[in-house]
Chains A and B, each alone.
Chain A
Amino acid sequence: MTALLLALALSSSQGPCEPVQPAERPDPVTASAYRKVGDQELAAGARETAAAAYRMAASLDPSDEGSRKALRELCLSGDRAAPSPFRRGLELMERGELRGAVVEFRQAQSPIPDGSAALLEGVCLYRLGDDAEAAPALRTAEADPAVRDSARFYLGLIALRRGDSSTAAPIFDALTPSYGTVASDMALLARRSGIFTVSALASAGWNSNVTLAPNGYATTGASDGFASIAASALWRPLGESGPYLRASGAYQQQFQLTAFDIGAVSGAAGWQLGHANRAVVAEYAYSFGALGGAPYLSSNRLLASGWLTWDSFTLTGTYLARFESYRSIYEPFSGTLQWAEAKGAWWFGPFARLGVSYRLGVDTVQVNYLSWIDHGPHADLFAQLSRSLRLGLDASLAFRTYGAVAPGPGAVRKDVYLTGTASLEYDLGNHWALQATVNAQQSWSNLPQFTWLQVVPGLGIAYLAGF
């Protein structure tokens, strides 16, 4: 027994691939038992245990070539040993090679069903946007109690993505005990989204400088309070990915300066191909606006946008061209506005997102000195402060240069705009939310009459519902 313990101590104190020390007293019978254990462990895929057993066998029986050979092969193969399909799938998934991972996870489910592999197969397919293939895999995983809740969570996400809020919301409700606020937030989202969604906002506020009166000039009478209502409806018959129609309208009534009352209606038809992680969108929109009760602007807009997501980073590119037709005295402003943005957004955990972008705008109008080019950076931050409270911050800087010398001032106008918005939104249940916003814009211009500051605080109540 002492010899055995000594052999064990010697064996274990050395690495499995170091030269085998022969035992003081050879014992071929016991060596044979070790070799059999080594064979069994190797068959079970337990390479380290197998190596330990072969090492003991080789130590106790120097003539045991079988154990030496097996140990040598184990040591030579080292890390090159073929990992299981499940592990290969995990490695591919971590590298973002999702198609390859799906193949491995499918292999890991045969011949013995494996709920974890089915779940990860479904997750990979979901991330690839292949919901039709993901759903059966997730339903297979759902049968395994160990991963049932996770599978249901993803089935809820798929339902949400196809706009089936009546299926998604109960799934997330049922998962709230185990998933907590993540599930309840998703349930809330489900109730506010769907094939047909509507939203409305009634708000009131105050504008410090409705007329954009320049700094340093008397601004008495430039400020005013206002009340506004806005509503929109979105129909996506196939869910997130597919065609859509959108209609919206808004009206803002100034309390005193009614010449600045604004009304607008718009309609859009578009197609989104893809989902939240990567998609392209093409859209046509028409809008009509009135100012002070008189027709002001009619426009047709074409928009193209696309985004790609890698882990927590999303890169978005957007371009739009708006063909504007102004009415009455504003007609010289008619022309084509082109605008483009390249944006990167990072998620910091599930509750905070920072977006940084650069924007370029070109407005070509009937009169050269009213045409302009502007460009500048933009940043926005979204943070879920608590289950019901969200914060949004948005800031941008734009450098605008006009196209020609303005006749009056005798100089090319150059403006710089600094704009900031802070908003807080507080949920009042499944469909209602309170909104508080403050918007501020400062314009600096080489022409003093265009240097101004405007601050607009507002408070509103919003309604959002999905069907």
Chain B
Amino acid sequence: MIPSGLAILLGLALGASAPGADAHLLAGASAFREERFDLALVEFRVAQSLGSPDASIYAATTLVKLNRPEEAVEAYGQGDAPGQDPIVDYYRGLACHEARLYQCAERLMAAVGDRAGPRIAGLAADVRAKAAAALAAEPGRETIDWYVTRCTAERQAKRQVLGAAYCREAAGLAKRRPDRYRLPEAEAGTRG
């Protein structure tokens, strides 16, 4: 089960947490397992504020469960390279997909593979297929415009990670066009 998986991962993280944060991580995991995601998010956020280095990942995963994918992408932090943990990669990929970051979703879901078991592998494959369908055709200029606009808007709203993710998506799409439409601008946005 995915919640149990998160709890196991949480166990690995407890030792690394700041004193006082562990209780909130555990309370968050308990609420998460019981699918009380509002409470889980609160506890993970509090753990984060008390210095737990991993709490943001759990908060991000909970945001996915709360159907707040854009905030989840922001909470997962910079970059979208696959990590050590396939379950986190799965949720992160799901957040990317729901936030229309299809290349990000494709990368992460490809990395999940069979590492998290057959059920997650099946779910990841489904998301991957949907992302592939969205990416099947050569992207139009208007699509790249949409991602660059979104990148700029998110940066103006102080969501730097999410903004960079949209620019990264725009850059990836621009590379799939012969004219490299707005590629330099999009790449600059990933660094900004």
Residues of A within 8 A of B (CB): 1, 4-5, 8, 11-12, 30, 33-34, 36-38, 40-41, 44, 46, 48-49, 52-53, 56, 111-113, 115, 139, 142-146, 148, 178
Contacts and interface: CB of A to CB of B under 8 A. Distances in A.
18 contacts: A1-B26, A5-B26, A5-B27, A8-B31, A30-B46, A44-B68, A46-B38, A49-B38, A52-B39, A111-B156, A113-B149, A115-B146, A139-B142, A142-B140, A143-B143, A143-B145, A145-B143, A146-B134
A425 to B, nearest CB: 34
Contacts of B42: 34, 37-38, 41, 49, 52-53, 56
A143 B140 contact: yes
A222 B188 CA distance: 87
| Pairs A-B, 3 closest by C-beta atoms | A143-B146, A1-B23, A143-B142
Contact of B46 (A34, A48, A112): A34
Contacts of A41: 41-42, 45
Given A4-B27, A144-B146, A145-B143, A113 B153 contact: yes
A11 B36 CA distance: 12
B50 interface: yes
B47 to A, nearest CB: 9
B91 interface: no
A112 B139 CA distance: 21
A12 B140 contact: no
Interface residues of B, number: 38
Contact of A5 (B23, B154, B157): B23
Given A46-B68, A49-B42, A8 B27 contact: yes
Interface in B128-160: 133-135, 139-140, 142-143, 145-146, 149-150, 153-154, 156-157
A112 B23 contact: no
Contacts of B153: 111-113
Interface string B21-38: 011101100110000101
Contacts of B50: 30, 33
A11 B46 CA distance: 16
Contacts of A12: 31, 36, 39
B24 A4 contact: yes
Interface of B: 20, 22-24, 26-27, 30-31, 36, 38-39, 41-43, 45-46, 49-50, 66, 68, 71, 100, 102, 133-135, 139-140, 142-143, 145-146, 149-150, 153-154, 156-157
A52 B150 CA distance: 31
Contact of B45 (A37, A142, A178): A37
Nearest to A1: B23
A391 B133 CA distance: 36
Contacts of A4: 23-24, 27
A8 B143 CA distance: 45
Contacts of B100: 115, 144-146
Contacts of B20: 30
B158 to A, nearest CB: 11
Given A37-B49, A112-B150, A145-B143, A48 B38 contact: yes
B150 A5 contact: no
A453 to B, nearest CB: 58
Given A49-B38, A144-B100, A37 B150 contact: no
A36 B157 CA distance: 20
Contacts of B27: 4-5, 8
**In this complex, which of A33, A48, A145 has the most chain B Cβ atoms within 10 angstroms of its Cβ?**
A145
Contacts of A142: 140, 142
Given A34-B42, A46-B68, A144-B100, 15 more contacts: A1-B23, A4-B23, A5-B30, A12-B39, A30-B20, A34-B46, A41-B42, A49-B41, A53-B46, A142-B140, A143-B145, A145-B139, A145-B143, A146-B100, A146-B134
Contacts of B154: 112
Contacts of A115: 100, 146
A356 to B, nearest CB: 43
Nearest to A139: B142
Nearest to B46: A33
A56 B156 CA distance: 32
B30 A145 contact: no
A139 B135 CA distance: 18
A12 B40 CA distance: 11
Nearest to B141: A143
A49 B45 CA distance: 11
B49 A33 contact: yes
A183 to B, nearest CB: 15
Contacts of A53: 42, 45-46
Contacts of A33: 46, 49-50
A5 B29 CA distance: 11
